[in-house]
Structure 1
Amino acid sequence: MRQPWRIAVIGGGITGLAAAVRLRDRAPAGTEITVYEQSGALGGKLRTGELLGQPVEFGAESFLMRDPATGGDSAAVTLAHRLGLADDIVHPTVGQAALAVDGGLHPIPGGTLMGVPGDLAKVAAVASPAADADRDGGRPLLGADSDVAVGALVRPRFGDQVVDRLVDPLLGGVYAGRADDLSLVTTMPALARAARVEHTLTAAVRAAQAASARTAQAAAGTGGPARPIFGTVAGGLSRLVEAAATASGATIRRDAAVRELTPGADGWRLTIGPTRDPELVEADAVVLAVPARPTARLLADVAPEVAATVGDLDYASVALITLALPEPALPALSGFLVPATEGLLIKASTFFTTKWGHLARPDGIALVRASVGRYGEETSLQLTDDDLVATVHRELSAVLGTPLPPPVATHVQRWGGALPQYAPGHLDRLAATRAALHASHPTLALAGAGHDGVGIPVCVRSGETAAEQIIEALEGSGQ
């Protein structure tokens, strides 16, 4: 076996860094790991900035504490333990969020699964469900190998208002997409599993909720306190990024754009940097942890059919506008979601210093963040930063029913092509392309949100799985 291995990780987001940490933990001593990041900053959509001298997230703000499939720690929590950050995980102090409907704020009803209710009576305050449409048709709602858009399942049985006022804003808060476009299997796998057994949507929601509760109880045991749903790292999620980069022991190459990926008899050649003066680097294996379109460009000559499938994935762009407001009158909520039917630019807002008690300021300044941008509405992001700030401030005041004080500081973070839009059948298509790629090039692994789903735990697990594939391939090759 040739030693040491040389492994390239293309992409310095949390996926690529998680892959690098797993490679360091599992690969033979002396393995050379290099992370190539085309920008000047690591972390991808994890970016902690500063406003008025205080850390604030300009990207993702938190992660799930529990793995929905096992009930145990999520991959993000496990990584935090590995990096020595477990004691720095903090949780929201206010968890109740609201919906902005009909000009007012209404608490998001309990007992729903990403907005899909298990008890229609509980959502009556914000939506009028269809009457008697959720009938037992004598067969499961979803075929064994089928996938549909979330809206295609929910609208006929619960009606338009449930989708438009509940499901759409909750999905939109995570994916910036629409229920009528997004894959049920990818975005709501627990409901998809239940829908392959149950004959009504109400029964499917309840079955999925019961299965989740059993999994959580089995993992936690009995009699213990309820586990918080979300967590973050005190001081900002960039601490997770920095700790992963350090723990990986990898050589970190910032501002290093990989332009070409060429297979050879004994591994891979990476072409890095400008066309006029390229740098050529040899590697035994590659983890490709960048979004779908750059992945497709690098695979165009390596595996054209795989590249075509991967490159079909579309993305939504968003902007996050943070306002520092002096002593505003804010409700005791973590924030609110806005259905697209309300006609507002804002699709969600978080009252940061209310939601996260560790961020509360003694001077009474509140940090409020708003998210702008839905899939297919990219023109809304063509406003200048000043216009975005002014519009967000005006709409926040309207939703809260009181004029907010002028902000003393602001920040606008634009994320172009940030959130993948998973069409029905996404997971099956990607499984087939991965299998084809592995058969022809086992030392090349794909990872990231464009393949496996959004959220920090999913991205961490994706990177770790890719690292395991690479180790297995190199061990099997006898290198």
Structure 2
Amino acid sequence: MGGAQVVVVGGGVSGLTAAWELSTSMPATTITVLDAGDRPGGKLRREPVAGVALDVGAESVLARRPEALELMAELGLDGGVVHPVTTSASVWSRGRLHALPKGTLMGIPSPARAARGILSDAEVDRAEHEAPWPDTDFEDVSVGDYVAGRLGDAVVDRLVDPLLAGVYAGKARSLSLRACLPQVFAAVRQGSSLTAAASQAARTSALSPEGSAAPVFAGLRGGVGRLAEMLADRLRARGVVLRSGVIVRELNRDGVGWTVVTGPQPSPQRLSADAVVVAVPAAPAARLLASHSPTAASALREIDYASMAIVTLAVGVDVPLQGSGFLVPSVEGRTIKASTFSSSKWSWTAEAADDLSFLRASVGRYGETSDLQRPDTELVAIAVAEVSEALGHQLPRIVDSHVQRWGGALPQYTVGHVDRVERIRRATQALPGLALAGAAYEGVGVPACIASGRAAARAVATHLRGSGEGRGRMTS
């Protein structure tokens, strides 16, 4: 009997982590990762800007969750872990930058008066007089509708919406309270006020698992993209096959295993597997599962995605950039939704080039795609103009720029998302040797995706051990 053969469909951090976990727990397993992208890593990616390799996707991870830091340690990257020099962000509201109130949770201020300036006096007064929610035993509701009902529309429009846009590129009035703010959801259903629930959740999130104060975010010297690069290198060293530019067209049952079909329809290539990890976005996952589980495929099709672009700029070093950056409420009518002052936020970025400062701007909210159709030169010009306007002075000459487009990058956890995922999980339990992973399910951040990949690998390992660790299947 040969060792088991496993195919991982998707080479983002979820798929790479699944392969890493399997190669660790079942080293005799033959593992192949098939990825449609031009290189492994998904949204963890670095590109040169003015000769410096910078993150053009995710640039930090949540430090309060252990998964990303644990994986960095396994890969020997823990010596390069860094934390932001500053996390002091602003909100560009009503024509000027205002400091984001400390102690807020996803934009919910506690107390409301801390947001004065971003909010008018009348809006602060409305928020301080929290209205009751008519029914505590609700199944789910959008974050925006719930917060607006209790604290007023302005809190949603000028605080909550830009924060959620930063995480999901989504809109507060469609994103699920239960999925996006689970601690708050649980507390308010038990009768807590929204302000108290958000305040408690904010305090808890600022603590380490041991209960001490801890940094909220972490990065890697040289960029978080190094995590994916090192992971891919280590997988190859273990004999894992990583194939880029490969689209998986079909998954077919083959006795007790699976056949993975790639390549053009006239000349398909088939790869046999004892188990498959599907770590791609919801739409391609639905297509692959449609003939095996219509229920799961139908629920997957309900998960929509937002597209976005990251514009990275290299400018003169004399730019007075205070804090880590700023958020832009959609009610301001601007094109950019946020800007990060990379050289102020990360010491390694400031040290990377003595005569340059780096910053980036993000474009793209759910349902707003017209701006993303603009050519790169226009997006760069818009980013320069709007960042300059927010700062109150013109940025110096742009030395270099880079535009990274992320089509269908961020899943939208709309109302009912938790139940939707439960339906998907229940339905796919009936498919032996198949596991799902990725940002579509229980979290969009890097640690959540890593957790998803590990969980999928453990499920596959349990299946393989129960079936004798594979049958030494062949590729055709």
Interval containing the TM-score (normalised by the shorter chain):
over 0.9
1:236 and 2:223 are equivalent in the alignment: yes
Verify the 8 A CA contact 1:38 1:255 in the aligned structure 2: yes
Verify the 8 A CA contact 2:307 2:409 in the aligned structure 1: yes
The letter of the residue matching 1:197 is Q
1-structure distance, mates of 2:177, 2:211: 30
SS in 2 for 1:191: helix
1:443 and 2:433 are equivalent in the alignment: yes
The letter of the residue matching 2:156 is V
1:221–1:201 CA distance, 2 compared to 1 (3 A):
closer
1:132–1:414 CA distance, 2 compared to 1 (3 A):
closer
Deviations 1:214-270 (A, max 9, x none): xx36x3356xxx422111111222321122223332111122221110012120001
SS in 2 for 1:452: coil
SS in 1 for 2:414: coil
Deviation at 1:161, TM superposition (A): 1.0
SS in 2 for 1:369: strand
Verify the 8 A CA contact 1:48 1:58 in the aligned structure 2: yes
Verify the 8 A CA contact 2:315 2:356 in the aligned structure 1: yes
The letter of the residue matching 2:461 is I
Equivalent residue runs for 1:216-295 within 5 Å:
216=207, 219-220=209-210, 226-248=213-235, 249=238, 250-295=240-285
SS in 2 for 1:76: helix
SS in 2 for 1:360: helix
Verify the 8 A CA contact 2:111 2:128 in the aligned structure 1: no
Correspondence for 1:104: 96
Verify the 8 A CA contact 2:148 2:156 in the aligned structure 1: yes
The letter of the residue matching 2:35 is E
Runs of 4+ in 1 over 4 A off after TM superposition: 210-213
Q: Which has the larger displacement, 77-86 or 302-311?
A: 302-311
The letter of the residue matching 1:49 is E
SS in 1 for 2:403: strand
1:340 and 2:330 are equivalent in the alignment: yes
Verify the 8 A CA contact 1:36 1:254 in the aligned structure 2: yes
Equivalent residue runs for 1:11-26 within 5 Å:
11-26=10-25
Correspondence for 2:64: 66
Deviations 1:31-61 (A, max 9, x none): 1111111222110011111111111111111
CA RMSD in angstroms comes to 1.7
Correspondence for 1:401: 392
1-structure distance, mates of 2:416, 2:127: 30
Equivalent residue runs for 1:104-253 within 5 Å:
104-127=96-119, 128-129=123-124, 130=126, 133-135=129-131, 141-143=136-138, 146-212=139-205, 216=207, 219-220=209-210, 226-248=213-235, 249=238, 250-253=240-243
Deviation at 1:114, TM superposition (A): 0.7
1:456 and 2:449 are equivalent in the alignment: no
Structure 1 unaligned spans of 5+: 68-73
1-structure distance, mates of 2:196, 2:226: 42
SS in 2 for 1:148: coil
The number of aligned residues is 461
Verify the 8 A CA contact 1:142 1:192 in the aligned structure 2: no
Correspondence for 1:369: 360
1:209–1:58 CA distance, 2 compared to 1 (3 A):
closer
Q: Which has the larger displacement, 265-274 or 124-133?
A: 124-133
Correspondence for 1:53: 51
Deviation at 1:142, TM superposition (A): 4.8
1:417 and 2:391 are equivalent in the alignment: no
The one of 285, 301, 321 equivalent to 2:311 is 321
The one of 369, 386, 404 equivalent to 1:378 is 369
Correspondence for 1:71: none
Deviations 1:268-287 (A, max 9, x none): 00111111221111000000
1-structure distance, mates of 2:294, 2:29: 30
Question: Normalising to structure 2: TM-score of the pair?
Answer: 0.93
